Structure 1
Amino acid sequence: MAKIEDRLIGALGASTRDTQAPPFVPRKPIPAIGYQRIDGERFRSREFMQHEWDHVWTKTWNVGCHVSELAEQGDFRLHTLGKESLLFVRSEDGEIRGFFNVCQHRGNLLCQVESGTVERFTCPYHGWKWNNDGSLHAIARPELFAQYRDGVPKGELDLAPIRTDIWGGWVWFNLDPHAISLTEYLGEAGSHLETYELENYQLIDHATFEWNGNWKHAHDAFNESYHFESLHSEFLNITEGYDVPIELLGMHSRMINFNLTVSELLGNAEELTPLREKFLGVGMLVPADYKGSLRDIHLEVIKAKRAIENETYLPYRRMNDEQLVHQYHYTFFPGTTLTQTPESSILFRYRPHPSDPGICYYDFLVTERRAPGSEPPIVNHRTYRHGELTDYAEAFEGTFDPFLANVLKQDGSNMPTMQQGTGSLGFRGMILGDQEVRIRHFHQQIDRCLMGDYPWLHPR
């Protein structure tokens, strides 16, 4: 049986439209980057965790919040990365700024609620105030500070800034003031995604899962599809699972997940079960009396979307054929994954615990391309502790299908067992195959950062 990408080319031909996102098919060879085992110590060592903080997290670009969360002047949002509490705010001049969320008086956390709207920030300890552009507004009882009898030197007591930039509708930040620009950092991978016009997507949900495992276990779980056949076998009813095209793009990487098809691994690929009918689009973009192969439904959906590309607000005209139906999955080192179709995009964040290498935070942020003029939804961020949910569908407010939420639960279920197993005296190190090359590449990027092999990240 021909691979799905062979049939895609045979039916529609290679994409020829002017697009910044090169198609995955025909696939490129898997890069040869070695076969060394990945040691287990890096998942549990506090020393390794500190090196990561010093040489990875404080030197790279990461996502703080969605632009829509800072829609009006004075809107602010907190974000935690490791031991740091960070504050993002839209100031009175309309600019979005980022600061360390620290009072410059005694070091108290300045803002202690997750989000809101303010003209100025007031420390709850002694009442010092800062304007929402980070400048000092007032010292409580200034006559008690002899060192400032003649006035506070300009900028001395302003909030400590962090570098911020906006791309794809997201507020990004870098804790290194000397880092390269965000555009340079995202590089080729970032330019690929510009055809989605992600800045026009609306944030519709935000859930955080605290998992009992190192953040790299979470990253590794979502950057290969080799595990679909074993862990997510039911998922193969609506996707082609275990052998997908993969590409490495500098520090970053990408893969494609083939949607709207039934995996060749399943023996009953032509039976229209209720699950397949629901997710394959039968009766929607695919006629209810469709008689073709279920494995080729994605080809029918491509034709249907092409037929309306000049009539829709969705960016179909900018898409290559693959983008119209399949999941383009991009991971930006170290902790951000964007996986999207023209209709919706999900951002995953993998964050370390402040002090425990055996705990991490997995953020799931859902965005959707809605019709122009649509009222932005109210998004309530929720955090769930490990084991708190018996049904992951409860974590979402109708924004993520229960079937897919269960797939997410299956991934989370491996976190404590991976953490325990990789710490065993009997574990000799990870053995990675070609479909796990993104994982090998990711760990190599960490090692390069720890060895100081990326001076371009923060030129001085």
Structure 2
Amino acid sequence: MAKIEDRLIEALGPAKKDTQAPAFVPRKPIPVIGYQRIDGERFHSREFMQREWDHVWTKTWNVGCHVSELAEPGDFRLHTLGKESLLFVRSNDGEIRGFFNICQHRGNLLCQVDSGSLDTFTCPYHGWKWNNDGTLNRIARPELFAQYRDGVPNGELDLAAIRTEIWGGWVWFNLDRHAIGLREYLGEAGSHLETYELEEFQLIDSATFEWNGNWKHAHDAFNESYHFESLHADFMNITEGYDVPIELIGMHSRMINFNLTVSELLGNAEEMTPLREKFLGIGTLVPADYKGSLKDIHLEVIKAKRAIENDTYMPYRRMNDEQLVHQYHYTFFPGTTLTQTPEVSIMFRYRPHPSDPGICYYDFLITERRAPGSEPPVVNHRTYRHGELQDYAEAFDGTFDPFLANVLKQDGSNMTTMQHGTASQGFRGMILGDQEVRIRHFHQQIDRCLMGDYPWLDHG
């Protein structure tokens, strides 16, 4: 067991029995789910990409937008998943709905701006209109359509609806009408995160990065911490992340990254540096005259937050001690990751390109728990094409620290080289260790789908 876990148990004792999210420490054994290599073909084959679309993306729950982006009747936002353009709107009756963004006349893309507020959607090609609840509003020159001389059959020309549900402040959707409900799909892993009261968080920033790599490379990069020591060496000054507790929960998984500490791997773990002073909260989260070990600062912060749990709008009282400071990292199959502290929750979305297995879209969506009554910020979503950014700090409107933005850039730096290398004749397949078990589990879930094994679908 890693030393940081020993100190957590010694200092804080057992987890609170009434907590909704079970603690990670003492850690559970990492399950053995096989040792076979993961082939490279799945990252490059167009045939595999099509099978993923047919058997994974069209049958699973994914996130379309944040509820705050549909605050008022008429507000809408487009979202792209693979080849599909999807339209999410708060209708005039106040209900949030989702539709395929397709004109039912000739198949044109109906709405061609990313967001806004409208009572009706008008196809720019021939002027057909739909109400924002998806019902047909107007056929241009209806006398020219003999088949509708006696009227349009009820619902025949309404927009094609998609199934939507709301959880955690996000609008989720499923392209399969027979799928089980969202809460059942998220399962135990979803109930863990309800401790955070995510529906109270406000969206403060939204950016998309186009990377020259398959979407699964992006997923795999953010679902293990084994790479921290090599790729994010500076990051080890403020976290312990190279060997972390991991748990598999049905088709989903979770891990913890230990914040507000200095890695045991660093020889100068007790030396104060400007970077450590900034991120370890010296003078803010803990007293400026703190004399304890830098590795144990997280313990002081836990005690400080626990002391005010009944006097704050933050949901500290609902959380176990780990949650008060450490990063709880949950991934919901196939393409949604939520990583959070009580104050900030960040969503990663991994999306496939419509036709090229060598390109993906990585969405970085920041939400923050702000004081009740705070004015929601205006968020303008930005998309950055491959190679467009040299400094990832430029992608954020002051909402993400430049040091952390550089960590994100480091993760993205491997996308092109991973895509290139896994296509090589000399690549024999991925060899995954215990700290990469979430990756193996994820690829096994994909394989289950490709074999038609869908425990979350109800076609009865």
TM-score (structure 2 length as normaliser): 0.99
1:278-297, aligned counterparts within 5 Å? 278-297=278-297
1:70 paired residue number: 70
Give the whole-Å Cα distance in 2 for the aligned partners of 1:338 and 1:456.
21
Distance 1:172 1:433 in 2: 33
Shift of 1:363: 0.1
What residue in structure 2 maps to residue 234 of structure 1?
Answer: 234
Distance in 1 between residues matched to 2:244 and 2:384, nearest whole Å: 32
Matches within 5 A, 1:18-97: 18-97=18-97
Measure, in 2, the Cα distance between the counterparts of 1:318 and 1:226. 30
**AA in 2 matched with 1:59:** K
1:233-265 CA-to-partner distances (Å, cap 9, x unmatched) read 000000002100000000000000000000000
Equivalent residue runs for 1:296-335 within 5 Å: 296-335=296-335
Q: CA deviation at 1:454?
A: 1.6
Aligned AA (2:220): D
CA separation in 2, counterparts of 1:354 and 1:119? 30
The superposition leaves residues 199-254 of structure 1 with CA deviations (integer Å, 9 ceiling, x where unpaired) of 00000000000000000000000000000000000000000021000000000000
Deviation track 1:290-343 (CA, whole Å, cap 9, x = no partner) reads 000000000000000011111110000001000000000000000000000000
Distance 2:17 2:168 in 1: 22
Moved over 6 A (4+): none
**How many residues are treated as equivalent by the alignment?**
460
What secondary structure, in the 3-state scheme, does the structure 1 residue paired with 2:59 have?
coil
Q: Which residue of 1 aligns with 2:168?
A: 168
Cα 1:452–1:322, aligned 2, differ >3 Å: closer, same or farther?
same
Q: How much does 1:455 deviate?
A: 4.5
Amino acid at match of 2:50: Q
The question of whether the paired residues in 2 share the 8 Å contact of 1:176 and 1:458 is answered with no
Larger mean CA deviation between 321-330 and 10-19 belongs to 10-19
Whole-angstrom distance in 2 between the partners of 1:157 and 1:229: 57
Provide Cα deviations, 1:58-112, integer angstroms capped at 9, x if missing partner. Answer: 0000000000000000000000000000000000110000000000000000000
Aligned pairs for 1:373-412 (under 5 A) are: 373-412=373-412
C-alpha RMSD of matched pairs (Å): 0.8
Whichever residue aligns with residue 94 of structure 1, its letter is G
How many angstroms apart in 1 are the aligned matches of 2:53 and 2:4? 41
SS at the partner of 1:457? coil
| Unmatched 5+ stretches in structure 1 | none
Post-superposition CA distance 1:324-381 (Å, at most 9, x none):
0000000000000000000000000000000000000000000000000000000000
1:457 Cα deviation after fit? 2.3
CA shift digits 1:171-197 (9 cap, x unpaired): 000000111100110000000000000
Give yes or no for contact 2:209–2:385 (8 Å, CA) kept in 1. yes
Distance in 2 (alpha carbons) for counterparts of 1:458 and 1:314: 38
User: TM-score normalised to the size of structure 1?
Assistant: 0.99
Structure-2 change in CA distance of 1:455 and 1:5 (3 Å): closer
Q: Deviations over 1:367-404 (max 9, x none)?
A: 00000000000000000011111100000000000000
Give the CA deviation at 1:2: 5.8
In the alignment, the residues of structure 2 paired with residue 66 and residue 103 of structure 1 have an alpha-carbon distance, to the nearest angstrom, of 25
Deviation string, structure 1 residues 36-72 (Cα, Å, up to 9, x no partner): 0000000000000000000000000000000000000
Contact kept? 2:185, 2:456, Cα under 8 Å: no
**What pairs up with 1:363-442 in 2 under 5 angstroms?**
363-442=363-442
Q: Which amino acid aligns with 1:170?
A: W
The letter of the residue matching 1:91 is S
CA distance in 2, matches of 1:241, 1:138: 57
Quick one: distance in 2 between partners of 1:40 and 1:3?
36
Q: Percent identity?
A: 89
